[in-house]
Amino acid sequence: MALEDFRPDMERCSQCSYCKFVPLDQIKSRRFSKGCPSIAYNNFNAYSARGRFAVALSLINKESEYTEKVQDIVFKCCLCGSCDVADKICRYNLEPLQMMHELRTRLVEDGQLLPQHMAIIDNLRKEDNMMMEKKANRGDWAEGLDVKLITKEPAEVLFHAGCRYSYDKALWPTVRNAVTIMKNAGVNIGIMGNDESCCGARAYYMGYHGEFVKFAENAIEMWKAAGVKTVVTSCADGYHAFTRLYPRLGAHFEVLHTVQYIERLINQGKLKLTKTVPIRVTYHDPCHLGRQGEPYIPWEGKEKKIFNQVVVYEPRKPRYNGAWGVYETPRNILKSIPGLELVEMERIKEYAWCCGAGGGVKEAYPDFSNWTATERIEEAKSTGAEAIVSACGWCERNFLDAISTAGDKMQVFDIVDLVKQAMQPARRKG
Ligand code: SF4
Ligand code: SF4
C-alpha cells in the first residue's frame, strides 16, 4: 500500500489519545498505564500515533515540508504496535502501524535519511548483516556444534540464527542450546552458517523497503534450492518477517519460533524437563512474537458509505488487535519447568510495553531505547522476579544493556536457556 492509501485513517483519527495508553480496562496502576514509549519519552503529541497521522496528512497535503524535526518524529518510534492494538477500540479500525511503515518508506525514498541508519544499511549491502560485522564470521556461533550445513547436506528443518544471535557472543549459548536441544530430540536440522543472510526485517522497519525485498527474495530462493520445509528461528524479528512479510513475496514454508518447536517436542514426549530450576521469573512478550506475531492478511477491500454517512468495509475488514499472538506457548514451557515460578508484569501479551530495541531506535536513538528498556526492567522488578525472560535476542540485548547502565541485579534469560537448564546446568548471560 502507498502512504496516500491511509488518508482515510489520517482524516478519521478522532484525537482520542487511546493510542498513548494501555486500554482503560487493562490498566492496573498509574505507574504502568502507558502504552506508547515514544510519547511517554518525548512528551509531545507529535510523537504518538495520533501525532504521526497528523504529520503524514500534512505532508501528503503538501502543507508542510521535510525538516529535521519531521525526521525525528517519524523515526523516533519503536514501531512496537501498542498504538495499533489500542486503535482497534476505535470505530474505524485504524491502522497506524502500517501507516508509519509507509511514512518511513516515503521519507527514505525522498532521501530523508538518518546517518546512523545509512551506515548500517551500507554495511548490510556489503556484508549481509545489520550488526556492522563481516559476513565471513556469521557462522562462528555454531563452531563445534556438529550440525549440518544445509547448502551441503539436505535437512528438513532450517534453523535461522539471525543477525543479533550470530554476532552477539553473550547470546550465543541461546542459539547453540536451541540447535542442540532439537538435534538431540532427533530433528533433521541444518543451518546456513556463513551463507545465512539478514532476513531484511530491520531494514524494512527503518524504511528501506527495497533492501528488505532483496534479502527476502534471496532467502526464499536459497531455502527452495535446499529443499527446506520448515524454518525455525529464535529471533522475534525473523519470526515476524517470515510469517507476515515473506508470504507477500511468495514464501510458503512452515515457520515456527523456537518456543513453538520446543513445545511441540515436549508434547510429543521427545523433550522432558526434569531438573528443578528454583527461580522466580517474569516473561516479557517480544512485540514481534506477541501482538505483531498474530496471523495477518493485509485487507484489500473497498469502503463505502451508507446514506452517504456511515462507513462500512467490503469485504469485512478484520480487526487485528494482537489477541492471537504467541502468548501461551512461552508461558506453558516456563510453567512446565520444575521449581520455576512465573509471575506476571502488569502490561502483558498484546498490552506489553516494548523492550525499546525495535524500529531502528536502538541504532539511532540509544538514550530513548535504553530508557524504554529501563522502564520494562522497573516493571519486572515490581513483580519480585529475580530474572526477566524473553524469546528474542534484540529484547535480551537491550535489557542486558539497560541493566548494566543502571547497575541492576536483574538476570536475563532466553526461554531456551532455562529449558536447557531443566535438562542440565546452564550458565547465566552477561
Ligand atoms: S487512538 Fe487512534 S483515533 Fe484515537 S488519537 Fe490515537 S490514532 Fe487517533
Ligand atoms: S509503534 Fe509504539 S512507539 Fe510507535 S507510536 Fe505506536 S505505540 Fe508509540
Residue 50 beta carbon below 6 angstroms from any ligand 1 atom:
yes
Q: Give residues (CB < 6 A) around ligand 2.
A: 35-38, 48-49, 77-83, 97
Q: Whose CA is nearest to atom 3 of ligand 1?
A: 13
Q: Whose CA is nearest to atom 4 of ligand 1?
A: 16
The separation between CA 272 and the C-alpha centre of its own chain, rounded to angstroms, equals: 29
Give the Cα-Cα-Cα angle 334, 292, 161 (nearest 5 degrees): 65
Residue 53 beta carbon below 6 angstroms from any ligand 1 atom:
yes
Residue 84 beta carbon below 6 angstroms from any ligand 1 atom:
no
**Closest ligand by atom to 23 CA:** 1
Minimum-distance ligand 1 atom for the alpha carbon of 94: 2
Residue 96 beta carbon below 6 angstroms from any ligand 1 atom:
yes
**Closest ligand by atom to 17 CA:** 1
The domain limits of the chain are 1-112, 115-267
pTM, 2 dp: 0.95
Contacts of 214-217 spanning 24+ positions with Cβ under 8 A: 215/124, 215/128, 216/241, 216/245, 216/246, 216/249, 216/251, 217/249
Residue 13 beta carbon below 6 angstroms from any ligand 1 atom:
yes
Minimum-distance ligand 2 atom for the alpha carbon of 86: 7
Q: Which of 10, 11, 12, 17 to mutate to test the pocket of ligand 1 (most atoms within 8 A of CB)?
A: 17
pLDDT value, residue 309: 82
pLDDT value, residue 301: 87
Contact 154, 227 (CB under 8 A): yes
Contact 19, 47 (CB under 8 A): no
- For 252, residues 6+ apart whose C-beta sits below 8 A from its C-beta are none
The 3-state secondary structure of the chain, one letter per residue: CCHHHHHHHHHHCCCCCHHHECCHHHCCCCCCCECCHHHHHHCCHHHCHHHHHHHHHHHHCCCCCCCHHHHHHHHCCCCCCHHHHHHCCCCCCCCHHHHHHHHHHHHHHCCCCCHHHHHHHHHHHHHCCCCCCCHHHHHHHHCCCCCEECCCCCCCEEEECHHHHHHCHHHHHHHHHHHHHHHHCCCCEEECHHHCCCCCHHHHHCCCHHHHHHHHHHHHHHHHHCCCCEEEECCHHHHHHHHHHHHHHCCCCEEEEHHHHHHHHHHCCCCCCCCCCCEEEEECCCCCCCHHHCCCCCCCCEEEEECCCEEEEECCCCCCCCCCCCCHHHHHHHHCCCCEEECCCCCCHHHCCCCCCCCCHHHHCHHHHHHHHHHHHHHHHCCCCCEEEECCHHHHHHHHHHHHHHCCCCEEEEHHHHHHHHHCCCCCCC
pLDDT in tens, the chain (430 residues): 899 999 999 999 999 999 999 999 999 999 999 999 999 999 999 999 999 999 999 999 999 999 999 999 999 999 999 999 999 887 778 999 999 999 999 999 999 999 999 999 999 999 999 999 999 999 999 999 999 999 999 999 999 999 999 999 999 999 999 999 999 999 999 999 999 999 999 999 999 999 999 999 999 999 999 999 999 999 999 999 999 999 999 999 999 999 999 999 999 999 999 999 999 999 999 999 999 999 988 888 888 888 888 888 899 888 899 999 999 999 999 999 999 999 999 999 999 999 999 999 999 999 999 999 999 999 999 999 999 999 999 999 999 999 999 999 999 999 999 999 999 644 445 5
Contact 73, 52 (CB under 8 A): yes
* Amino acid type, 361: V
Distance between Cα 331 and ligand 1 center (Å): 31
**For strand 411-414 and strand 254-257, is the pairing parallel, antiparallel, or unpaired?**
unpaired
Query: What kind of architecture, by CATH, is found in domain 1-112?
Result: Orthogonal Bundle (1.10)
Contact 229, 187 (CB under 8 A): no
pLDDT value, residue 426: 44
Residue 32 beta carbon below 6 angstroms from any ligand 1 atom:
no
